[in-house]
Amino acid sequence: MKIGVLALQGAFREHKIMLESLGCIVSEVRLPKHLEGLDGIVFPGGESTTIGKLMVHYGFLEALREYHAKGGAIFATCAGAILLATEIVGSDQPRLGLLEMSVKRNAFGRQVDSFETPLEVKGLETPFPALFIRAPILESVGEGVEVLAEYDHQIVLARKGRLLASSFHPELTNDPRLHRYFLEQVVSAG
C-alpha cells in the first residue's frame, strides 16, 4: 500500500515512521504532483493556519479535493482535522471543507495543558492512549459522519467514508491501531 504524508509542516515524520512499521511504502507529499498513485494520505498535526497558507501557496486545496473526489482516502490528525472541516469556529482560514463538521481550535487549552488519556474507540477492544496537544474538538458533525470516540462528552474521532479525523496525535504514541484502522477500514474500503 502506498501512503503519502503531507510534509508541509508539523509531525509528518512520526506518521511516516508509524506507517512504515505497518509495511506501507510512504512518501512525503510536498507538491500536488506527489499525490499521484497514492492509496491514501495523512495530514499531520502542527499549526493549522500555517499549513493552510502553505496549501494555498502550493495549490493543494483543489488538488486534494480532486484527489478525494477520485477515491483518495485521508486521515487527518489535530491540525489536519481542522483543515478537513467545513467550518472552523471563529476563523476564515483556508480549509478543504471535505468533512461536514464544525471544529473549535485549541479547545483543550494551550501547550502546557497537553495530556494523555485512555480513550474508548469504537472498533478497538482496549482503550487507545490518546495524546492531546493544543487539540481541537469536533463540535458537531453532519449527517452520515460516524462518531468513533468522545472525550468528556466532546467528539474527538470521526469518520465518513474515506475520511478519518482525529483531534489527538496517534503518531506520537507507540500504538499503531489507529493507523492500522485507517489502512484496513478507510483506505481498503474503496
Give me the chain's average pLDDT, please: 94
pLDDT tier at 108, thresholds 50, 70, 90: confident
Catalytic residue among 14, 15, 68, 171: 171
What's the pLDDT score for residue 47?
A: 87
Find the domain containing 7 and state its range.
2-187
What value does the mean pLDDT take over residues 115-132?
96
* Predicted TM-score (pTM) of this structure: 0.95
Phi, psi of 80 (to 5 degrees): -60, -40
For 145-169, write each residue's pLDDT tens digit: 999 999 999 999 999 999 999 999 9
Write the CA distances from 185 to 52, 73, 77, integer angstroms: 27, 10, 17
Least confident interval from 112-116, 146-150, 174-178: 112-116
pLDDT of residue 169: 94
pLDDT in tens, 39-67: 999 999 888 989 999 999 999 999 999 99
Q: Check 14, 15, 24, 169 and give the catalytic one.
A: 169
Backbone angles phi, psi at 56, to 5 degrees: -65, -50
| pLDDT above 90 (res 112) | no
The angle formed by the CA atoms of residues 117, 186 and 114, to the nearest 5 degrees, is: 20
Spell out the alpha helix ranges (H) of 44-174.
48-58, 60-69, 79-84
Is the pLDDT reported for residue 99 higher than 90? Answer: yes
Confidence check: pLDDT of 69 > 70: yes
Q: What is the CATH number of the domain that holds 95?
A: 3.40.50.880
| Residue of 65, 61, 59, 67 lying closest to 31 (CA atoms) | 59
24 among known catalytic residues: no
Query: How many structural domains comprise the chain?
Result: 1
The per-residue pLDDT for 187 is 95
Q: What is the mean pLDDT of residues 25-30?
A: 97
Report the pLDDT value the prediction gives residue 11, as an integer from 0 to 100: 83
Task: Out of 34, 78, 116, 139, pick the active-site residue.
Answer: 78
